[in-house]
Structure 1
């Protein structure tokens, strides 16, 4: 295995607080992105817009994230990742504070885009730091531990924001996130060590990783299955509502089983990797579980308990596949891991932004079976890409023997 990390070259031993610190950082990103789902009505009242227009506060964040991530990933490979991480935390804190002072909806929209930029810098940098500091055999477990922080943010963010907004007003969730960013900034200053830019150890060449067929196929496949899986989850509540006549509170409790499965997958990736002997095997097993779990939930007229089992398996499969694929991308991209992981995030969001509205229209017009046909197409395409064998054994040299 070739080592491209300055940490490895200098015999660096990471702080034992590194992974918890990165998990806290990505928790803040997950909570910041999804907490608005519980606040669209109060924000619409504050800015005197319709709730449908207020939803652009979510979309603008995701769009800025998708567009900016590759640029920031490129820069993170050529800058001190610690400095980049700290800067993004401060920018995210400033964005949350500024939002509470926004005089109108247009300014709030621009500030949410600023938050998307901060998150686009933070997420790929955090996972590149994991790849820089953790041995290849343990990277997927470490990725899973950090991703568990984001998973908790996705699940807890809306609930926390709803309670804070209802009790102390709509500004309190933003103030809380800003305080969390500042706290994490202080912890990260001690837990993350400065090093020279990773790209300086392996020459120049901005996008030479595009010539690696196996890497590009994995990158495209991850965007397809991840975007489709998340798009499907965002429709799962409506499927349950229409199929079983559930109320809003019951729907919220029901879809939380997805978060539980996702969390278990994130934390269990290390054990599953040892059982299946490698990240590639874990990824393929997870995708073969994801496809029937999604298909059964969306297309089969299951009773509620059986549907919730499928939804939890859906989350579990995604919780395994995400860290396994992220570790594989980091292995294969060498010194360009920051840029490649950032492009991966952009592809995930891009597929989501395309597939979600199409599948939502199909769900409303024709039902869950037609929606699943839309969701299933990128899943099958992803499996096809992953089943294609590389033509050159030399392209496997950065996989660490996998």
Structure 2
């Protein structure tokens, strides 16, 4: 894999740390700003909504701009948004900074996904996506737990400042590692924007985006409210939240790495095997949440399964959107973040039920069940790729 791909992954690491870190900071934020944990969970949804809106919008605006300054600008805006968020005492302002950061993240990821796919041969998109998403999974292994520890020791604001500082080496990496191509050179052979947007009328592309969104909704629905499961259901101290996040992140790294080697040529087995296991896993976490060893083991497994299945489906989005070279990344980003926005909202509605803090886990199981109900009758279509004419 080319070096610029790993430099893009460094920036994704900084942004992934921010996107996932709220899973360990929500109780502290809620207490500091005098709001409920459920309300604080809206920060995750606001970020995801900004990603959904920003991915296609910013990608469309930036499609005629040179990629290096565009990527650099997004990283710097992301850093400034976190600096403002770290200093505010107002929840609405904090919410607004999450939206701005999300727009920057969306623009970056949409352009980065397209850039990453262009750095490798057409049959290695899955591998390239795995490298890029490894920035996110390493963030869950190292960045997010470190942020949780920092938040526990110094408060959630320190974590926001740390993310802002983390963006600086990422920006330097982009400046030094991404070629300074001219916009007119990058635009050679590029379809018109209308033609790229027309790809969204293809049923198989919409199917892949829907399935990716559902699986990601399940992932974010439980991950956002994992902290109270660890402290309330398992009865452990706050520092154990970081242990759970490390295990989830380690599992996600394993899952995306393995899936990256299979999703280009053999996506069917990943979905056929990983899907049912993921479905069983979320209710199992709910049932065994009071047993720390079982809880942590299942958190690792669910991290692996969630990212293996999710990254495979998002890779299929890139393949199905091959005729939209500048917008494909935004379609994949939008699919990921429709799920990231909907998941915490659906999960939050269960917190006031008899299930309590375990409600999000049951909701995640239901979301995966819906995805599999849609996917399994069409598994041969999903596995076949773009050459199959079914559903065209």
TM-score, structure 1 normalization: 0.79
* Residue 222 (1) aligns with residue 208 (2): no
Distance in 1 separating the partners of 2:90 and 2:290: 46
* Correspondence for 1:208 among 198, 203, 211: 198
* Residue 188 (1) aligns with residue 206 (2): no
Distance in 2 separating the partners of 1:93 and 1:305: 37
SS of structure 2 residue aligned to 1:201: coil
Q: 1:160 to 1:243 in 2, by over 3 A?
A: closer
Give the alignment of 1:2-401 within 5 angstroms: 16-36=2-22, 38=24, 49-50=34-35, 52=37, 57-100=43-86, 102=88, 105-162=91-148, 164=150, 172-193=158-179, 194=181, 196-197=185-186, 200-203=189-192, 204-272=194-262, 277-299=265-287, 303-362=291-350, 364-367=352-355, 374-389=363-378, 396-397=386-387
Higher radius of gyration, 1 or 2: 1
Unaligned runs of 5+ in 1: 1-13
Residue by residue, what CA displacement relative to the aligned partner does 1:119-141 show, whole Å, maximum 9, x if unpaired? Answer: 11111221221111112333222
Distance in 2 separating the partners of 1:376 and 1:51: 25
**Cα contact 2:252–2:307 (8 A) shared by 1:** yes
| Root mean square deviation of aligned Cα | 3.7
Once structures 1 and 2 are overlaid, which stretch shifts more, 60-69 or 257-266? 60-69
**Cα contact 1:22–1:126 (8 A) shared by 2:** yes
**Cα contact 1:225–1:378 (8 A) shared by 2:** yes
Q: 1:398 to 1:24 in 2, by over 3 A?
A: farther
Distance in 1 separating the partners of 2:209 and 2:95: 30
Unaligned runs of 5+ in 2: none
Distance in 2 separating the partners of 1:25 and 1:273: 23
TM-score, structure 2 normalization: 0.81
Q: 1:154 to 1:355 in 2, by over 3 A?
A: same
Equivalences, count: 382
Report the counterpart of residue 3 of structure 1 in structure 2. none
Q: 1:354 to 1:325 in 2, by over 3 A?
A: closer
Residue by residue, what CA displacement relative to the aligned partner does 1:92-134 show, whole Å, maximum 9, x if unpaired? Answer: 1232344455575544443332212111111122122111111
